[in-house]
Amino acid sequence: MYAAYHELDEASATDVLIELLGGSEDEPPLIDDTPRIVLVAGDFRPEVTTTVLWLVDNFENIDIRCVRLQPFQVGERILVSSEVIIPLPEAEQYRLSVQRKRREVIGAQTTKAGRLIPRLIEADALAIGATLYFRHSAVPPAATPEWSKHEPMYRAELATAEGTRTLRWTDPDIGEPELISPSLAAARLLHRFGLREGEVSSEGVNGMIYWTTDGEQTLRDLAAQHGLLDRRPNRRIDKNALRQLCSEIPAGRWTTYGDVATGIGLPGAAQSVAGVITTDPAVQNAHRVLRANGQISPRWVNAAGDGSSHARKLLESEGVTFDEAGLADPALRWPPAAAGTSRH
């Protein structure tokens, strides 16, 4: 729709929208899907206003309001006056500020946990299939069973980097392995230990400080070691340097978004690099840039609209082989440093 309205090609429109919304090819923008309800009438019956006020007071995520319209005829023109009667402007400002602050806190906790794992994988600091352990120091001494690397309750497998449910973990109360977010798994354990009360929820829990590589080093510590916590969204990419580097990727080889980011002097900016590569038609050999595990991004598409299956055909025609899981041969991975060109 944006492309049609502004008479742009879809790739350019996507580039503009991603830059505006703060996302990338591997890290889609977060779009608020909270419904907004506006009731419009010349006047409102008491049962309507009473219901609206009850909804406003009891459901903080509902954005609902009553707007009274009054038409006036001035000569041959009709003018319409609008007045928000619920909520009152003074109360609305306070309500919105409280809701905004709460969303910022919850959103920061959720996105930090949900987005740090893909960046750790891109930086080769973590791999799918890795075993993670609940932090030893977070387990009370009197907990049953006591902490051990061999105790299933304190172990989890990194099963995927897609979405927020990235861990395969067995809740002792359920007894079956399930895909779960690091924060919710940590919240369940904390509730089990009596360290949290009320409804079991990941709100206020950052799984990155509870799950570790060895029982001590948290995922957040690991990210800090690789310089990922200093990364800012929408880091400015030197497109000329990126295009030059991608043009040097030899046929029959592949590299990663993280490798390209490092090659142009922006380690940890894999997501931003992916956003440029997938939206800039001037980037050569875009099909030779894959995810860190050798997977072609399912959302890969070129300017002609060809998808990931087309990228695989191109790579296979160049001699790149894929295993049954659709991962490129790691022996054919090309590190940008091998090009021998200076970067800044």
Mean pLDDT by 10 residues, the chain (344 residues): 87 79 62 77 87 78 85 91 76 55 52 67 84 92 91 93 85 89 91 84 83 90 74 64 92 90 80 78 90 81 77 94 91 72 42
Residue 340's pLDDT is 41
Residue 197's pLDDT is 79
Residue 24, amino acid: S
What does the alpha-carbon distance between residue 322 and residue 230 come to, in Å, rounded to a whole number? Answer: 34
279 lies in the same domain as 186: no
249 lies in the same domain as 323: yes
Residue 112 in domain: no
Name the helix (H) or strand (E) containing 36: strand 36-41
Range of the domain at 206: 120-225
Residue 305 in domain: yes
Phi, psi of 326 (to 5 degrees): 80, 25
173 lies in the same domain as 89: no
Half-sphere exposure of 280 (CA within 13 A, CB side): 21
71 lies in the same domain as 165: no
Six token digits for residue 338: 């091998």
Residue 271 in domain: yes
Residue 106 in domain: no
Q: How many domains does the chain have?
A: 3
Residue 154 CB-density burial (10 A; 0-12 exposed, 13-18 middle, 19+ buried): buried
Residue 100's pLDDT is 60
256 lies in the same domain as 217: no
Six token digits for residue 341: 């060109």
Residue 286 in domain: yes
76 lies in the same domain as 149: no
Nearest one of 330, 123, 119, 341 to 246, comparing CA atoms = 341
207 lies in the same domain as 289: no
250 lies in the same domain as 221: no
Angle, vertex CA 157, rays to CA 255 and CA 220, nearest 5? 70
Q: Which of 191, 225, 259 is the last residue of a domain?
A: 225
Residue 232 in domain: no
Site of tokens 């924060």: 183
Residue 97's pLDDT is 58
Residue 331 in domain: yes
Q: Which of 195, 225, 255 is the last residue of a domain?
A: 225
Residue 112's pLDDT is 47
48 lies in the same domain as 139: no
Residue 115 in domain: no
Q: Which of 225, 260, 292 is the last residue of a domain?
A: 225
139 lies in the same domain as 43: no
Residue 315's pLDDT is 94
- Which residues are CB-contacts of 120 (< 8 A; sequence separation ≥ 6)? 126, 219, 222, 223, 226, 228
126 lies in the same domain as 221: yes
172 lies in the same domain as 257: no
Nearest one of 206, 237, 240, 205 to 223, comparing CA atoms = 206
Residue 168's pLDDT is 93
